[in-house]
């Protein structure tokens, strides 16, 4: 099994390297990796699509109390110019346990995204019972993206070769079925152990970017998938694009 929480995450600015075997990564490591890689993506000024993003963020608030708790879904919000905040203890090893007072309101998340933060969702043992509902709500909201065409949206994932140092990007055009499948793969909790303790969290993540990333000058996406190996695998005859030597081909608006 590769990187336990191999989050290529977190912002429209970041590009990540390949994962390494059987390592559990906590939030502080993820944040540092994101900032280190942030300079490899070009950026332009743009505005957040508030109406659309409000629907996406609100879809994670299952009990409709205006807050997103770790027991609903663990989230991490932040970016290169916005401090990272999570609604849990921030540890993949413990399983993103809820912490009193760390629940994040929908309005707080929206305010951070207006400042350039991305929203990343993970999964854990404490939220596992809600995973199917979260995915269903999230997919329904995501497909309302004004950029969607015929019920399909683009998502992407990146990796950097160990020996070449070159970035590879995979882009997928996804309808409801494909999107649901890809998110479920990202949020699967494996059967391995860390120091004899079963995994408490999933391997991957799905990030919603505050603005649009344009890949290779033609594919526009707001969804970034953290675990590249999961996202790359599987057969898709139409709408699958693999772009090599792509460090300059992901442009964040």
Residue pLDDT, tens place only, 92-110: 999 999 999 999 999 999 9
Q: Among positive and negative, which fits the CA dihedral 24, 89, 184, 217?
A: negative
- Is 68 part of any domain? yes
- Is 169 part of any domain? yes
- Is 18 part of any domain? no
Query: Mean of the per-residue pLDDT values for the chain?
Result: 83
Looking at the structure of the chain, the number of domains it has is: 1
Q: What is the mean pLDDT of residues 42-48?
A: 44
* pLDDT given at position 43: 37
- Is 21 part of any domain? no
**Of 99, 106, 112, 101, nearest in space to 71 by CA:** 99
Prediction pTM value: 0.81
Write out pLDDT tens, residues 162-203.
888 889 999 999 999 999 999 999 999 999 898 889 999 998
Confidence of residue 11 (pLDDT cuts 50, 70, 90): very low
Give the number of residues written for the chain.
253
- Is 16 part of any domain? no
Confidence of residue 253 (pLDDT cuts 50, 70, 90): low
- Is 65 part of any domain? yes
Residue 248 has pLDDT above 90, yes or no: no
Residue 52 has pLDDT above 50, yes or no: yes
- Is 199 part of any domain? yes
126: containing domain: 27-252
Q: What is the mean pLDDT of residues 224-231?
A: 94
Taking phi first (over 0 means left), then psi (-120 to 50 degrees means alpha), and beta for anything else, what does residue 185 get? Answer: alpha
Q: Three-class SS string for the chain?
A: CCCECCCCCCCCCCCCCCCCCCCECCHHHHHHHHHHHHHHCEECCCCCCHHHHHHHHHCCCCCCCCEECCCCCCEEEEECCEEEEECCCCCCCCCCCCCCCCCEEHHHHHHHHHCCCEEEECCEHHHHHHHHHHHHHHHHHHCCCCCCECCEEEEEEEEECCCCCCEEEEEEEECHHHHHHHHHHHCCCCCCEECCEECCECCCCEEEEEEEEEECCCEEEEEEECCHHHHHCCCCCCCEEEECCCCCCEEEC
* pLDDT given at position 237: 77
- Is 2 part of any domain? no
């Amino acid at each position: 099994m590769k990187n336990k929480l191999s989050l290529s995450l977190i912002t429209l600015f970041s590009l990540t390297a390949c994962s390494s075997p059987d390592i559990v990564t906590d939030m502080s490591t993820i944040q540092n990796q994101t900032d280190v890689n942030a300079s490899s993506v070009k950026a332009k000024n743009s505005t957040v699509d508030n109406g659309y993003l409000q629907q996406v963020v609100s879809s994670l608030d299952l009990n409709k109390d205006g807050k997103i708790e770790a027991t609903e879904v663990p989230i991490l919000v932040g970016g290169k110019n916005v401090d990272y905040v999570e609604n849990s203890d921030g540890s993949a090893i413990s399983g993103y346990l809820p912490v009193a007072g760390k629940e994040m309101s929908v309005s707080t998340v929206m305010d951070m995204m207006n400042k350039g933060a991305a929203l990343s969702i993970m999964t854990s043992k404490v939220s596992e019972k809600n995973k199917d509902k979260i995915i269903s709500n999230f997919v329904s909201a995501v497909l309302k993206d004004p950029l969607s065409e015929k019920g399909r949206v683009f998502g992407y994932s990146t990796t950097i070769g160990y020996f070449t140092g070159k970035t590879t990007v995979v882009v997928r055009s996804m309808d409801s079925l494909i999107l649901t499948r890809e998110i479920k793969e990202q949020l699967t909790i494996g059967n391995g152990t860390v120091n004899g303790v079963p995994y408490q969290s999933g391997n991957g993540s799905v990030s919603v970017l505050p603005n649009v990333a344009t890949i290779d000058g033609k594919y526009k996406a707001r969804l970034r998938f953290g675990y590249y190996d999961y996202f790359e695998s599987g057969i898709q005859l139409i709408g699958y694009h693999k772009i090599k030597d792509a460090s300059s081909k992901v442009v964040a608006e």
